[in-house]
Structure 1
Amino acid sequence: LELFGNSVEIIQDVGVAGIHRALAARDRIEACSVAIIVAGMDGALPSVMAGLVSTPVIAVPTSVGYGASFGGVAALLCMLNSCASGVTVVNIDNGFGAAYAASLITRTIGVSIGNKLSADPNASNRKPVIEE
C-alpha cells in the first residue's frame, strides 16, 4: 500500500478467539478508509469486523491454518459466505491483490473528495489498515 502512496496502520494479533482484542481495535479500524484483514486460522474475523465498522473490508485468507484448513480453502469459503455487507474477498495468500484493491478504494475516495470540504473533516486523513 505504501508503494501506491497510501499510509498504513498495522494492527496485529486480533482474532475472534479473543474477541476483546477485536473490540479494542474497532475505533482504530473505523478511522481508516479501508481495512485489509488477513486470517488463516479461521475465516470469521473479516465478517466480525465488517459487522463492527462501516469501513470497507478486504478479506485475505491464508494457506496457514490449523485443523482442516485445506491450504486456506476453509478460510476462503468462510469469507466468501460472509453475511456481513461490505466484505470483498481475494484469493488465498493474495496480499498484493488486497493492497491493490484497497489502493483503488482510497484513490476513489480521494477523487470524490477532491479539494472540497467533506462532511467528515478527517476523511482525507483516513488510511488503510492491515489486520493480522
Structure 2
Amino acid sequence: MGKDLRELLLAFKNGELDINEIEKLIKLNYFEEIGTELKLDINREFRTGVPEVVYGRGKSIDEIINSTLKLAENNGVALATKIENIEKLCDEIRKMDLKNYEVKINKRAKTLIIKNKNYKIKKIGKVGILTAGTSDIAVAEEAKDTLEVMGVETITSYDVGVAGIHRLFPALKTMIEKDVSCVIVVAGMEGTLPSVVASMIDVPVIGVPTSTSYGIKITPLLTMLHSCSPGIAVVNIDNGFGAGVFAGLIVRRCYRSHGVK
C-alpha cells in the first residue's frame, strides 16, 4: 500500500530519507501506470478528500479489474462505476484469487468495490438517500456505494415519490431522527421530489435527475434547477457518484469542524 504525502514528509523530517529520495518518492507517489494507457491518480484522496474512482464505461473488464485492484493496493479500498457488462465482470472475478481482498459487486448499480482485508474504513456521519420510484434505485445505489468507500453511513428509503406522497413522511422523520448531514434525492419523470423534500427539512438536499421518463429525458434536470425551494444543489443526469461525493464532503467538513479528522 502506498504512502501518503504526510508519511513521506514525516520520514524526511525524522532523517529516514534524504532530499533526493523524498523528491523522487513524492513524484512517484502521485500516479501508478498500468501498461501504456492507464495512469491512476493514487494520491487524489490526500489532495481532494475523494479517491480516484474507475469509470467503467468504455473500458474492458480487464482494465476495470486491474485498475480497481491497483487502487485498492495503494489506498486500501477502491470503487468502479458504470460497468457495462456486469455479468462478465462477475465471471472474471470468480476466477481470480483475491483472498486478501473483500469484493462487493452491486449488479443493480453496476459498481465494484474492492477492499484490502487489513484496511479499516474510518466511519463518520450519516446521509439520507431517497428515490421517487424503483426505476431510480440503480442511481441511488451508486451514490450509496460511493459513500460507503468514503466511510459514510447511509439511511435509505426508496419509492417514496410524489405519486404517493404519504410514503415520504415516515422516511423523512427517520432521517431527521438519525441526524443525517444531508439528503440525496433521486428522481426521474418530472423530477419534483427534491423540491418537496427541501421544503420540509433543514439540511442540504442534493437532487439527482435520472433518465427515467416517458418523454424528454432532460425534464427532471430542468425541474430541479428551477426549484423554488432553497437549499438544493443539483448534479447531472444519472450521476449518483457525483451526488455521493458531494454528500460525503459535506459530512467530512461537518465532522472536521467538530474536531474529527
TM-score bracket relative to the smaller structure? 0.7 to 0.9
Question: Which of 86, 97, 111 is the matching residue for 2:231?
Answer: 86
Matched with 1:103 is: 248
- Could you say which structure has the higher strand fraction? 2
CA RMSD for the aligned pairs?
Answer: 1.1
CA contact (8 A) 2:160 2:168 kept: yes
* Cα shift at 1:17: 1.1
Could you tell me which residue of structure 2 aligns to residue 65 of structure 1? Answer: 213
1:47 matched to 2:195: yes
Give the equivalent residue in structure 2 for 1:128: none
Shift of 1:64: 1.1
Work out the CA distance in 1 between the residues paired with 2:189 and 2:255: 34
Cα displacement (A) at 1:46: 0.2
> Does structure 2 conserve the Cα–Cα contact (< 8 Å) formed by 1:29 and 1:55?
no
The residue matched to 1:103 in structure 2 has which SS? helix
Paired with 2:172 and 2:160, the residues of 1 have a C-alpha distance of 10
Q: Partners in 1 of 2:226 and 2:190 — Cα distance?
A: 13
Cα distance in structure 1, aligned partners of 2:206 and 2:159 = 17
Between Structure 1 and Structure 2, whose CA radius of gyration is higher? Answer: 2
Partner of 1:12: 158
* Count, aligned residues: 112
Kept in 1: contact 2:189–2:219 (CA 8 A): no
Once residues 212 and 163 of structure 2 are traced to their aligned partners in structure 1, the CA distance between those partners, rounded to angstroms, is: 16
Deviation of residue 32 (structure 1)? 1.1
Contact 1:16–1:44, Cα closer than 8 Å, also in 2 = yes
The CA deviation string for residues 58-106 of structure 1, in whole angstroms up to 9 with x for no partner, is 000001112x2x22x1000000001111100000001000000001100
Gaps of 5+ in 2: 1-146
Aligned AA (1:36): I
- Taking every aligned residue pair, what percent have the same amino acid on both sides? 50
Whole-Å separation in 1 of the counterparts to 2:186 and 2:174: 16
Distance 2:252 2:231 in 1: 17
Q: TM-score, normalised by structure 1?
A: 0.80
Q: Establish whether residue 37 from structure 1 lines up as the match of residue 185 from structure 2.
A: yes
CA contact (8 A) 1:60 1:94 kept: yes
Report if the CA contact (8 A) 1:4-1:103 is conserved. yes
* Equivalent position SS for 2:236: coil
